Amino acid sequence: SYECSLRNIIICEMCGQRIKKTEIDHHEVSGLCPGRKGNLSHCPWRCPLGCGQMIHPHKMLEHILNECDFRLVSCNYCGMNKIQAKNLRQHWQNSCPFQSTVCFRCSKKVAFDNYEKHLK
């Protein structure tokens, strides 16, 4: 069977060169792209919070403030702050004193910190 040799080629938006799809990331971030020399605003940066993602600078603030699992957030129930977003659900389920649960006896919602008292 015949396979088109251009099928796996894309055009770099910065310099116009034809690049294999499998090599475009390396071309863009390695300094090989002549269109990117001196124009680092188009090169992705590693997230400074430690999540490991590579983010373009114009999207970095949005990532840090709203998307990164490593950003620090506050619990809406108890006000505890400095919880990594990725750990917030675990905080709610295991340690938030104001999070509620359903009583297995009466089916009412009861705050975790009042649960033992409620059962007596």
Amino acid at 16: G
- Picking from 28-37, 82-91, 103-112, which range would have the lowest pLDDT averaged per residue? 28-37
Helix (H, G, I), strand (E, B) or coil at 43: coil
Instruction: Report the candidate in 90, 59, 84 with the shortest Cα–Cα distance to residue 72.
Output: 84
DSSP 52: -
Identify whether the C-beta of residue 52 lies closer than 8 Å to the C-beta of residue 46: yes
Domains and CATH numbers, the chain: 1-39 (no CATH), 44-71 (no CATH), 74-119 (3.30.40.10)
What confidence tens digit (pLDDT) does each residue in 7-52 have? 788 888 777 888 888 887 777 666 667 766 655 566 788 898 999 9
Could you tell me where the beta strands, DSSP code E, fall in the chain?
A: 9-11, 18-20, 45-46, 54-55, 72-73, 83-84, 100-102, 109-111
Q: Determine the pLDDT at residue 35.
A: 67
